[in-house]
Amino acid sequence: MRFNVDALSEGGSMDRAPKIKLGAFNCCLIYGDQALASCLGASLPTIRTYRARGIIPFIKTGHRSIAYELDDVLAALRSYRKKPITEKGGR
């Protein structure tokens, strides 16, 4: 993973993520792959691959429109973390 998930949840920059209020719930919705990629510091192909593989949750808001709830995406990325790669050779 090339981006830091914890940096955003610990007060990182989320200027591009609009906060909207839905009834009694406050959530941070991000509209589109490009907006999520820039918010996380990831590449656009990475976001699209994660969405296609079901790694990150998304909301279909229209025929071709997609939104992401930032808290759910961060939780999914945290749970997707794998063990660190060890050096080959074992010497």
Is 87 a member of any domain? no
Q: Contact 48/37 with Cβ under 8 angstroms?
A: no
Is 64 a member of any domain? yes
- Sign of the CA dihedral with 83 first, then 84, 85, and 91 last: negative
Kindly report whether the global pTM for this prediction surpasses the value 0.95.
no
Give the domain range for residue 55.
5-80
- The number of domains in the chain is 1
Is 71 a member of any domain? yes
Q: What DSSP element (H or E) covers 46?
A: helix 44-52
Q: 26 to each of 14, 68, 71, how far by Cα in Å?
A: 15, 14, 11
Amino acid symbol at 13 = S
Per-position pLDDT tens, the chain of length 91: 455 555 555 555 455 555 444 544 556 889 999 999 998 999 999 999 999 999 999 999 889 899 999 889 999 998 887 666 666 655 5
Q: What DSSP element (H or E) covers 5?
A: helix 5-9
